[in-house]
Amino acid sequence: MNDFRENFTAFLQQQLELYGDDAICEASSLRKEPFAEKDASPAAGAATLAELHQSIEDCQRCALGRTRTRLVFGSGKPQAEIVLVGEAPGAEEDRAGVPFVGRAGALLTKILASVQIKREDVYICNILKCRPPQNRDPLPEEIALCKPYLFAQLQLIRPKIIVCLGRVAAQVLLETTDSLSKLRGQWHGWNGIDVMVTYHPAALLRNPGYKRETWEDMKGLQQRRHSTLKR
């Protein structure tokens, strides 16, 4: 109950910061089934990534739809064997409409190249498709409303390996509250797909000491990739 109150309070605070008095609802609207109109995901029925992208381009399922510059859907090879999943777009991604650009994106490209993986051969996306204000952590409601888009992407791509970049991506995909340090160094599974957890490139820019551990993770990815291709 305390977690619910804290999350709901954070959500209300966000609404007030974004919309002021306009955030106050009519009492009659509060008696409606919670999020009833939002439950029908536009992701349903999309046969390709392009169709899915088009169907959610104007998404307004949560408040982030009003504050974003561009929706950041994802980029890369539609039939990629490896999908990398981050947390949410940052300021540069919000402007470009492309995930992992700028310094973090350049570092990610180098990390992949270190184990002979080209960026254009993987697919990269995020848990959230819109940037949270001030790059704060995603709120539970935002995650719940945006997860169907990620799941639809993964179902359409059908990768053999998913790499979770950072704590939030790992906790959401694996439905756990375990820390990043506990999740790293072992393989997990999601709907029959191998899942690896490693640091977000932005964390490496802040803490270069994580690079050695990331290199170990990448060597593990390289080994699993080779063994998976032989199946």
What's 209's domain CATH number? 3.40.470.10
Contact assessment for residue 62 and residue 142, using Cβ atoms and an 8 Å cutoff: yes
Decide if 192 is inside a domain. Answer: yes
Q: Which amino acid is at 23?
A: A
Contact assessment for residue 197 and residue 84, using Cβ atoms and an 8 Å cutoff: no
Q: For position 6, what pLDDT does the model report? A: 52
Low-confidence ranges of the chain (pLDDT < 50): 1-5, 7-8, 18-19, 21-39
Decide if 184 is inside a domain. Answer: yes
Q: For position 27, what pLDDT does the model report? A: 34
Against a cut of 0.85, is the pTM above it? no
Q: Which domain holds residue 56?
A: 43-229
Decide if 119 is inside a domain. Answer: yes
Give, for 222, the enclosing helix (H) or strand (E).
helix 211-229
Q: How many domains does the chain have?
A: 1
Q: For position 229, what pLDDT does the model report? A: 65
42-93: pLDDT as tens digits = 667 889 999 999 999 999 999 999 999 999 999 999 999 999 999 999 999 9
Among candidate residues 81, 106, 117, the one with its CA nearest the CA of residue 218: 117
Decide if 118 is inside a domain. Answer: yes
Neighbours of 176 (CB within 10 A): 12
Neighbours of 216 (CB within 10 A): 13
Decide if 26 is inside a domain. Answer: no
Decide if 37 is inside a domain. Answer: no
Decide if 95 is inside a domain. Answer: yes
Contact assessment for residue 170 and residue 197, using Cβ atoms and an 8 Å cutoff: yes
Decide if 186 is inside a domain. Answer: yes
Q: For position 227, what pLDDT does the model report? A: 87
